[in-house]
């Protein structure tokens, strides 16, 4: 006797075959998770949401403009000064991120490339995600530039 292996698979999940054929729409949270998992920029996230909306694959309450302002609440903690973009209130930033900040639990990591210099706070033990606190465009890693970075972030 040959058993139909696929016959019981839908019963196990309590999902009918008709339900499997119907498209399942994304909620705002599910779409946000997808955008994060795909590491999409704001523009590409909005484009993806727009295309999914055209195909009726989004819930009615999903906002396409959500990605335009997703970092708006964090912008108040950063200052732009020419090529320098840095955090002006680290304690406020951590409070907004709902993370406790004890400076002894974090270390400063500075990395440079041909085009930029970046500063990130990394958690000792890597229990928390890194927090970018400075980005300097067209700055090479020199003593003077590193001093400028440290003065800007008041480290």
Question: What count of other Cβ atoms lies within 10 Å of the Cβ of residue 43?
Answer: 10
Helix (H) or strand (E) holding 116: strand 116-123
* Separation CA 141–CA 119 (nearest Å): 11
Q: What is the pLDDT of residue 17?
A: 67
pTM score of the predicted model = 0.57
Least trusted range by pLDDT, from 25-34, 62-71, 107-116: 62-71
Q: What is the pLDDT of residue 92?
A: 87
117-146 pLDDT, tens digit per residue, is: 888 989 898 888 888 888 887 767 778 877
CB 145 within 8 A of CB 136: yes
* Separation CA 5–CA 81 (nearest Å): 64
Q: Say yes or no to pLDDT of 21 above 80.
A: no
pLDDT confidence tier of residue 13, bands split at 50, 70 and 90: low
Higher pLDDT, 9 or 57: 57
Least trusted range by pLDDT, from 6-15, 72-81, 93-102: 6-15
Strands 131-137 and 116-123 turn out to be antiparallel
Higher pLDDT, 116 or 37: 37
pLDDT confidence tier of residue 14, bands split at 50, 70 and 90: low
35-93 pLDDT, tens digit per residue, is: 888 888 888 888 998 899 898 888 888 887 777 777 778 888 888 887 788 888 888 88
């Amino acid at each position: 006797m040959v058993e139909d292996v696929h016959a019981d698979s839908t019963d196990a999940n309590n999902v009918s075959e008709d339900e499997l054929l119907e498209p399942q729409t994304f909620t705002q949270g599910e779409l946000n998770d997808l955008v994060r998992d795909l590491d999409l920029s704001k523009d590409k996230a909005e484009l993806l949401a727009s295309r999914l909306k055209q195909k009726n694959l989004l819930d009615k309450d999903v906002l396409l403009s959500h990605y335009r302002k997703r970092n708006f609440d964090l912008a108040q903690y950063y200052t732009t000064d020419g090529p320098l973009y840095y955090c002006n209130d680290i304690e406020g930033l951590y409070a907004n991120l709902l993370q406790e900040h004890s400076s002894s639990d974090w270390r400063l990591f500075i990395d440079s490339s041909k085009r930029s210099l970046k500063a990130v706070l990394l958690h000792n033990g890597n229990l928390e995600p890194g927090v970018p606190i400075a980005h300097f465009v067209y700055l090479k890693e020199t003593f003077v530039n590193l001093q400028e970075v440290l003065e800007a972030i008041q480290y």
